[in-house]
Structure 1
Amino acid sequence: MAIISTIGDLLEFFGVTYRQVLFGGIVIYGTTVTFYRLFLSPLRSIPGSLLSHLSISHMRIMTALGKLPDMCEDDYYKYGDIFITAPDIVTISNPADCRKVLSSYTFVKNKFYESLRLVDETLFTTSDPDLNSTRRRQIGPAFTQGALQKMEPTIMECGIIALKRKWDRLIGENGGVAKINYSLEFQLVTYDVISVLGYGHRFSALEKGETTIVNWVENYSLLALFKAVIPSVTEFPMSLLCRPLLKSYKEYVDFTDATAEHRREQIRQGQKVPNDLLQALVDGEDPESKAKMTPSQVTAENIDILAAAINTTTHTMTWTLHYLMLYPECYRKAVDEVRSVFAPDHLIGYSEGRSQLPYVEACIYESMRIHAATGIFLPRVVPPGGVTFQGHFIPAGLSVGVNIAGMNHHQSLWKDSKRFMPERFIENPDLKQQVMTFSTGVRIC
C-alpha cells in the first residue's frame, strides 16, 4: 500500500493519471517497435507490405481466413523472389532457394507446426529429425506402389464405381440430364474412400449424404487452424469459444481410438483383416529399432493422414475438372485421348492410366501447379550462422517460409504461369519434377 501510495503521490506531483501513464507506455512501446522494425531490423531492406513489416497479425488473419496461399502468390508477383510475410518471417519463392531449405534437416520446422499438434506428435507436426526418420520408416511401407495396388480395388469400388453409379442414376431419373455439384460430390466420394482405408468403415457419404466423418474432419482441421493462429484456443477460458469444435474433436479422436483398438482385437483373435491404411499403421514398425507406434501415435497419424488425403484429393480433382471446363479445347483433347485408348465401359486402373494417358496426366499436373493442394507455406527456422537469399542476409533463429505458390508460378520455369497449359508437360516431361505440390527433399510427402 505504501508503494502504491508513493506512486500515486508521484503521479499527482507530476499532474498525470494512471490512464495517461498506461497510454503513454503503450505509445512509447509501439513507437519503439515500429522504429526498430522499419529502420534497425536486419530484415528492413527486404521488400514487403508495411503491415507485414510491422505485425504478424496480417499473416494470422489471412491464415484464419484460408487466404495465406493466395496472399503469398500475390506477393510473389508483386515483390519477386523474397519478401516479408511477418516481422520475423521471410518468404522465398526462387526454386533453388526453396530446395536448399527443404533438402536437409538443417532448417528445422518452426513453432507453427507445434501449434497444429492436437493428439500427439506426428510426421507432419514434428521438428525432430530423428522422429521424422523413424516415423517415415514405420509408415513408409504403406505408401509404396505395391501397398497402394493392394488397396486399389477398394479405392475403385468406393470411388469411381460409386460415383458413376450415382451419376447414372441421377441422369436416368431426370430425363437424361442432371445438375451435379462436382466439388461436393468429389469431397463426399473421397471421404468414403479414405474412411474405408483408414477406419475399415464405410460412411456412405456419397450415396446417403451421411456427413458424420465430413463434419469431424472439417471441425478438426478448423480447430487446428484456430490453434495455429491462437495457441491458447484449447485452454480455458478460450476453450469456451470453441466448445462445439472441441466436442466434435473428442468424438473424432474417440472413434479413431476405438477403430484402431477393434483392429488390434481382430488381430489377437486371428481374424482376417484387410490390407488398408489402418492395418499399415497398426503394423508399422521401424526396421532399425523394431519400435512400433503407441496407440496415441497411431490415432494422431491416422487423423493427420486422412485429413490431408481428403483435402488434397478433393482439391486436385475439383480444380482439374474446373480448368477442363474453362478450357474446352483441353477437355476435348483429354476425352479424345481416353476414347482412343480405352473402351467406353473400361474401368481405368492407376498403372494403365499413368502409362497410356499422358495428356490426362499432364492436365492433373497443371492443375496441381496452378492451385497446389497444400495450402501452407512451410516455415522453417534459419540455422546457426544465418543464411543469405537473393542478396539479403537472414539471421539465425528467424523463420523462412517456402512459398509453394511462388515456386509453381515462378517465371523462370513457367511461361504464362497463370494460364492452364497441360502441353508444357508433354513438350518437357522433366517439368513434372518442378511441381512443388507436396514439398521436396527430406520432407517430401
Structure 2
Amino acid sequence: MNALSDLLDSLRSIDPLYIVALIPAVVVLVHLVPWLVDRHGIRSYPGPWLAKFSDLWLGRVAAAGHRSEVVDEMHKKYGTFVRLAPNHLSIADPAALQIVYAHGNGSLKSDFYDAFVSIQRGVFNTRDRTAHTRKRKIVSHIFSQKSVLAFEPHIREYVKTIIQQWDRLTDLGAKGLHGSEGEGGWQGRDGRVWLDCLPWYNYLAFDIIGDLAFGSPFGMLLAAKDSAPVAKSHDKAISAYGKEDAKVDVIRIPAVQILNDRGEFSASMGVLPPWWRPYVKRFIPWYSKGGAAVRNLAGLAVAAVAKRLAEPSYRVDLLSKLQEGTDDDGNPMGREELTAEALTQLIAGSDTTSNSSCAITYYLAANPQCQEKLQKELDEALENADDVVASFEIVKRLPYLEAVINEALRLHSTSGIGLPRIVPEGGLTILGQTFPEGTVLSVPSYTIHRDKEVWGEDVEEYRPERWFERDPDAIQRTFNPFSYGPRACVGKNLANMELLVIISSLLRRYHFVLEHPDKPLYTKEGFLRKPTECKVGMKRRV
C-alpha cells in the first residue's frame, strides 16, 4: 500500500501542463511504434500516407459515404495491393477472392462486424466459427432453392400491389394531374407520370420482407409512406412472448431512413479501433444519431416478432421456419436469438432488393435499346400468362433478363466494399505474397467488377450483351454480388427470385425514361451502396 501511495503522490505532483504536452507525444508513439515494428509485414505496401499509421483515414472515408469509389481510385493510383489501415490490406484481383473467402481456409471475420451487433449476434455478425456453423445450419435450409419457392405467393402479392398503385398513378399522370407530397409529389405530363421510383421500391421490399420475416407487411405500399412500428421497451416486448392478451407499446418510425442511418453508422464505426468506439459515440453527434438508429431498428424487430408470436399462425414464412430449425443437439433458437435472426433477414432482405431494383430500373431507363430488347423477350415468354405478375418458373430461364439483372449488379455493386477477413494460423499466400496470421485482408467487389481483363475495356458502360461475349469461367470467378465462401449471403436464392419476379413484372407492364438523362445514378454508401434517388417518367405499355 505504501508503494501505491507513493506512486499516486508522485502522479499528483506532476505539472498538469506537462501532462497536456505529453498527450501528443503519446498519440504519435501509439501510431508510430506499430508501423516501425511492422508485425504483419505490410509496411512496404503503398497506400494513403495517413492509412499507414492510423485507422482515421478509412474511418473518414467510410463516414463520407463513398468508400468503394475512393478505394477504387486508390487501386488505380497504387496498383493491386493498397494499405487501407495499419493492419488492413485491400487486394484488387479476382484471384484473391477465391483465397481470402475460401471454404476451409480458416479465416475469420474481423472486429468490423462487432459494430453491427444490436439484440445479439446473428448469422451475419457472428465471428466465432463454431457459433456461426451452428447458426448457419439452422438458417441455411430456409433459403435453399426448394424452400424459397414456398415464398413466391407472398412476393407475388406485393408485386401485384405496387402494380395496382402504379396503374393508378400512370392513369392520373396521363391526364396531366399532379400528386401530393404524401405520395412523393408525382407529376403528370407528356402522357407519363414522373416520380422518384426509389421510395416505391423501398416500400415494396419492406412489405415483402416484413411479411416473410414477421408475418405481416408494414403497410408501406398501400400508405405510400415510410412508416413502421417499433417497441418502446425491448425488455417489456420480449417478456410479452407467449402471454395471452400481452400488449407491446409501440411508436411509429421512418424505418427506411432508420435503416439507412444504421448502415452508415455501423460501417463507419466498424473500421475504427474497438477502444475508440465508446468515445466516438459519446462525443461526436453524427455517431450518436447512428446509435439511436441501431436501437430503433432493433425495437422494430422486437415489436414485430412479439406481435407475431402472440397470435396463432399457420403461415409458412421465414419466422415459422426459424422456429422449426434446430442445431445438431436438437436445440431451437431462443427468443432473443430468433428476434436477432429475423432482424438480420429484415436488413438484408429489404436493402438489397430495393437498391438493386432501383439500379436496374435506372440502367434500363438510361439504355432504351436494352429496355426494348428485354421487353421483347418478356412479351414472347409471357404471351399466354393470365396474371399481371410474372411466374418465377417461366422467367427464371430467360437469358437476357438474367443478363440485365447481373449487369446492373456488376455496376451497382450493392455490397461494394471489401469485406475484411483475418488471416488464419499458418498465413495465406496470394499472388506470390505471403501474409502472416492476424493480418486483415479484403477484396473490393466494386473494383474487381471493373477489371478490364475480365469485363472488357468498356467496364463503365451498361451492356448486358457482355455476359454472352466474355469468358464465362472468368466471370464466374469475379462476379461477387453476394460475397463468396462459407460466409456468403444465405439469402441469395430469395434475392434472385425477388429480382426476377419484380423486374420481369414491372418491365413488361411499364415503359421507363429518365427525367434527367445525363444525370448519373448518385449513391451513398454505408455497409451497402444505395441510390439516393431515381426520377423516371413512366407509362403503361400497350
CA contact (8 A) 1:325 1:331 kept: yes
Query: Aligned pair 1:409/2:424, yes or no?
Result: no
Give the Å deviation of 1:245. 5.2
Structure with a larger share of its residues in helix: 1
For residues 161 and 192 of structure 2, what CA distance do their matches in structure 1 show? 19
Query: Aligned pair 1:259/2:304, yes or no?
Result: yes
Query: Aligned pair 1:302/2:342, yes or no?
Result: yes
The counterpart of 1:200, out of the listed 200, 204, 215, is 215
For residues 40 and 442 of structure 1, what CA distance do their matches in structure 2 show? 28
Closer, same or farther: CA 391–237 of 1 in aligned 2, 3 Å: closer
CA contact (8 A) 1:377 1:404 kept: yes
Query: Aligned pair 1:3/2:10, yes or no?
Result: yes
Give the Å deviation of 1:247. 5.2
Give the Å deviation of 1:411. 2.8
Give the Å deviation of 1:7. 5.3
For residues 245 and 441 of structure 1, what CA distance do their matches in structure 2 show? 30
For residues 5 and 64 of structure 1, what CA distance do their matches in structure 2 show? 39
For residues 451 and 163 of structure 2, what CA distance do their matches in structure 1 show? 38
Supply the AA of the counterpart residue of 2:319: L
For residues 221 and 251 of structure 1, what CA distance do their matches in structure 2 show? 13
Give the Å deviation of 1:33. 4.4
Closer, same or farther: CA 90–248 of 1 in aligned 2, 3 Å: closer
Q: Deviations over 1:375-415 (max 9, x none)?
A: 43111111233333334443321211121122222233211
CA contact (8 A) 2:59 2:268 kept: no
Gap runs ≥5 in structure 2? 1-7, 176-190, 228-254, 490-542
The counterpart of 2:202, out of the listed 165, 187, 192, is 187
Closer, same or farther: CA 336–137 of 1 in aligned 2, 3 Å: same
CA contact (8 A) 2:111 2:270 kept: no
CA contact (8 A) 1:382 1:396 kept: yes
Q: Deviations over 1:289-314 (max 9, x none)?
A: 21211111111111122111211111
Closer, same or farther: CA 170–237 of 1 in aligned 2, 3 Å: closer
SS in structure 1 opposite 2:193? Answer: coil
For residues 179 and 153 of structure 1, what CA distance do their matches in structure 2 show? 30
CA contact (8 A) 1:82 1:390 kept: no
Q: CA RMSD in A?
A: 3.1
Q: Deviations over 1:190-248 (max 9, x none)?
A: 11111111112222212313322324433443443454256565689818946665555
For residues 246 and 173 of structure 1, what CA distance do their matches in structure 2 show? 42
Closer, same or farther: CA 2–378 of 1 in aligned 2, 3 Å: closer
For residues 91 and 333 of structure 1, what CA distance do their matches in structure 2 show? 38
CA contact (8 A) 1:142 1:280 kept: yes
Q: Deviations over 1:51-84 (max 9, x none)?
A: 3223211111122233222222222333332211
For residues 334 and 279 of structure 2, what CA distance do their matches in structure 1 show? 25
1:14 paired residue number: none
The alignment-based identity, stated in percent, is 25
CA contact (8 A) 1:382 1:397 kept: yes
Closer, same or farther: CA 330–255 of 1 in aligned 2, 3 Å: closer
1:67 paired residue number: 66
CA contact (8 A) 2:91 2:441 kept: yes
Give the Å deviation of 1:179. 0.6
Q: Deviations over 1:129-180 (max 9, x none)?
A: 222222121011221222211111111111x212211111011112142012
For residues 415 and 168 of structure 1, what CA distance do their matches in structure 2 show? 40
Give the Å deviation of 1:285. 1.7
Closer, same or farther: CA 28–327 of 1 in aligned 2, 3 Å: closer
Structure with a larger share of its residues in strand: 2
The counterpart of 1:314, out of the listed 354, 364, 374, is 354
Query: Aligned pair 1:379/2:437, yes or no?
Result: no
The counterpart of 2:372, out of the listed 318, 332, 356, is 332
Gap runs ≥5 in structure 1? 12-16
SS in structure 2 opposite 1:413? Answer: helix
CA contact (8 A) 2:381 2:394 kept: no
Query: Aligned pair 1:82/2:81, yes or no?
Result: yes
Supply the AA of the counterpart residue of 2:483: S
Question: Counterparts in 2 of 1:68-217, with a 5 A limit?
Answer: 68-103=67-102, 104-158=104-158, 160-174=159-173, 175=175, 176-212=191-227, 213-217=255-259
Q: Deviations over 1:330-363 (max 9, x none)?
A: 22211221122223865312221121x2111101
Supply the AA of the counterpart residue of 1:238: R
The counterpart of 2:480, out of the listed 408, 415, 436, is 436
For residues 291 and 107 of structure 1, what CA distance do their matches in structure 2 show? 27
2:320 paired residue number: 279
1:22 paired residue number: 22
TM-score (norm 1): 0.86
TM-score (norm 2): 0.72
Give the Å deviation of 1:433. 5.7
Supply the AA of the counterpart residue of 1:106: G
SS in structure 2 opposite 1:178? Answer: strand
Give the Å deviation of 1:439. 1.0
SS in structure 1 opposite 2:84? Answer: strand
For residues 119 and 49 of structure 1, what CA distance do their matches in structure 2 show? 36
Give the Å deviation of 1:6. 6.7
Closer, same or farther: CA 433–392 of 1 in aligned 2, 3 Å: closer
CA contact (8 A) 1:123 1:136 kept: yes
For residues 77 and 378 of structure 1, what CA distance do their matches in structure 2 show? 19
